[in-house]
Amino acid sequence: MADRIEMDVWQGDIAQLEVDAIVIAGSESLFMTAGPAAAVKRRGGIEIERAAIDQAPVPPGSAVVTTGGMLPAPYVIHAVAVGHDRVADPGVLAQAVRSALAFAEPLQLRRIAMALLGTETGAFTPDEAAAVVVPALRAGAVDTPIESVVLAVMQATEVSALREAVRASDTGAGVR
């Protein structure tokens, strides 16, 4: 069980990463239509979306897990960080991170990649989301098998926000 995790910020397509699980944002209906979710569906196959939809609807703050399809990662965790109302609620965002991390023990996840949850609908700015996600990851990963997290984003503003949040939580994490 890890008591401290390594965190790296990476700019690129989350669907390419060879990790134990990918964590992406999902809506309450779990359709994978935009952002990292659409990229994961394109690369991993429609069966990922079908498996998610079979578990829908789910409330904000929750998460479900599906197969990774044709992805290098065997699992995709769909975390609902913002509801259909698109209200930016930091408590719901933090709960979505915790719900995603709850799969670490049963699936024995050691390395995960996570998109910047909460920004997919514009509810949170990258800075606001990073200020919630990074501390929630640090706290939630304690006493789980998780050893490292790659925070994978596409935009330079997201990279900057995450790097600053990781620095602010400075517990010796690696930042690229």
Backbone CA torsion sign across 127, 133, 139, 144: negative
- What's the pLDDT tens digit per position in 57-69? 999 999 999 999 9
Domain ranges of the chain: 6-168
- What's the pLDDT tens digit per position in 130-161? 999 999 999 999 989 999 999 999 999 999 99
Q: What is the pLDDT of residue 1?
A: 55
Can you spell out the DSSP letters for 93-154? HHHHHHHHHTTHHHHT--EEEE--TT-TTSSS-HHHHHHHHHHHHHHHTTTBS--EEEEEES
d(CA 41, CA 148): 24
Range 6-168 has CATH code 3.40.220.10: yes
Q: What pLDDT tens digit does each residue of the chain (176 aa) get?
A: 545 789 999 999 999 999 999 999 999 999 999 899 999 999 999 999 999 999 999 999 999 999 999 999 999 999 999 999 999 999 999 999 999 999 999 999 999 999 999 998 889 999 999 999 999 999 999 989 999 999 999 999 999 999 999 999 875 444 33
